[in-house]
Amino acid sequence: MRIFEVVFVIMAIGLLWYLIWARKASGRLFLWGMPILLVSTGLFHLIFEKARWQMGLAYLVALIALCMYGARAYRNTIRDREWKKSILLSVPAFLISALAICLPFMLPVFSFERPTGAYRVGTVTYTWSDNSRIGSDGTSRKINVQIWYPADSSSSATPGKYISNLPAFAKAIEEQYGFSGKVLSYLEQVETHTYAGTSFASDLKEAPIIFLSHGNMLGSRFTNTFQAIELASHGYIVAAVEHPGTAMMSVYPDGSYAPFIDTSSHLPMEYNVQNHASIPVIKEQTQDIEFALQQLMDMSESVTESPFAHRADFSNVGIIGHSFGGATAVDVLYKNPAFKAGINMDGYLYGEDRDKPLTKPLMIMNGGFKLPELEDSPEMKLAEEGRRERVLAQSGVELDIWQAGHLSFTDFPLYSPMMDALSPEVRRNHTIINEVSLAFMDRNLKGDPNASYLDVVERYPDVTIRMK
């Protein structure tokens, strides 16, 4: 919760309970001071933090308390109330007070850590149509791509949004799943430390490119913002590709959308069965990445109004993927010579069989925090270990973050403290992931011999590394 929210909720609930249980009038300073402070705090909250629906019950508590105070001030007295009446009033007061605290706390306006790099971060989102791939509905496959990049420190730049098309996204969620899209409205207030469409950093000649490929079902182009802004602040162009059908929801400028399509959850949890179902999806996602790369190359050469025109270093391209996107990252490294290095974050190596080891640098990050009921079967683990031995044999490394859950490699644990049960210590884990990712990419894309993820590992006792 934000500072004025916390103060406002405490004061509103405190005044309500005082008015319920007060046996006699307090001093004039208290009686006038509390309502004035409550109203003042509320105004500061509305002006500087903006209203959100999770605070609705807190607003109601404040209104009830002020009305009760106004009635007593009008009578200029506090009547001696029977204990029974105070107890009866306490029952609904307790319920509404508890909800007034829980709602904004459990669904906060979360924030990202400020990027540590030297550059301000710009962002822009594109929608491109791949006319070489026609869907079953007869239309071209449309790809949303959000790009973060090192930017000039212009004071007039407009702050970037967490979800750049939130109204359309919320409407699509409502149409597809039937619950009000207004539930997502508070995401407009998330501070991303980015600036929309601002100019590229003038003191940076060119920047390496890192593609992001999200996970299955819950992933989207924006769900690894914590990682994208950090990399961009250190001089990278970061392009997050949203895979239609795999993303939770892909929404396009014309109002159309592509919801998530489940292709495997109904199948037996056997490695070969799950892998067979994943192969066509991974193939399509690899084509999404390659198409986006070509679009960026074309844009860099011909679209002069692009913020990063003639500034992208296409000789140094990497890829990072989470979960299903991690398998896609490995597939891209095998198939496309333009990609020099990659990171698979907590993803199985689903996809085509690999007879030869990957000759490019690959890191697999593993989350070690798993609930017993979510543990994979011995058969799944054994099959995955065999694949990893083959793929990583020549130039691979595995990194274990023992307090990271599967979703720790995304923004999702920031959405609610309730996520701590699946992904504890999210801020710390994000810091580890960012430091390791940056060191790995600095070494392999920028050629920095001093960049070492081994140094990062030494600073965190719950992080271990296995070199192949």
> pLDDT tens digits, residue range 136-174?
888 999 999 999 999 998 767 899 999 999 999 999 999
Question: Lowest mean pLDDT: which of 94-98, 305-309, 339-343?
Answer: 305-309
- Range from 75-79, 112-116, 411-415 carrying the lowest mean pLDDT: 75-79
Total-model pTM: 0.92
The C-alpha angle with vertex 50 and arms to 247 and 421, in degrees rounded to 5, equals 45
pLDDT digits (tens, 9 = 90+) for 255-310: 999 999 999 989 999 999 999 999 999 999 999 999 999 999 999 887 777 888 88
Cα–Cα distance for residue pair 247/281, rounded to 1 Å: 12
Task: Sort residue 237 into left (φ over 0), alpha (ψ -120 to 50) or beta.
Answer: beta
Return the sign of the alpha-carbon dihedral for residues 438, 444, 447, 448.
positive
Q: What is the pLDDT of residue 136?
A: 81
What separation in angstroms does the CA of 361 have from each of 14, 330, 398? 58, 10, 11
φ, ψ for residue 170, nearest 5 deg: -65, -40
Task: Count Cβ neighbours within 10 Å for each residue of 450-467 and write b for 16 or more, e otherwise.
Answer: ebebeebbeebeebeeee
Q: At 72, is the pLDDT very low, low, confident or very high (cuts 50, 70, 90)?
A: confident
What percent of the chain is modeled with pLDDT above 70?
Answer: 95
CB 313 within 8 A of CB 208: yes
CA–CA distance, 335 with 298 (Å, rounded to integer): 21
Domains of the chain with CATH codes = 3-106 (no CATH), 120-467 (3.40.50.1820)
H/E stretch holding 61 reads helix 56-75
pLDDT for residue 30:
62
pLDDT tens-digit readout, 313-340: 999 999 999 999 999 999 999 999 999 9
Report whether pLDDT(78) > 60: no
How many residues does this entry show for the chain?
468
Angle at 411 between CA 229 and CA 166, to 5 degrees: 85
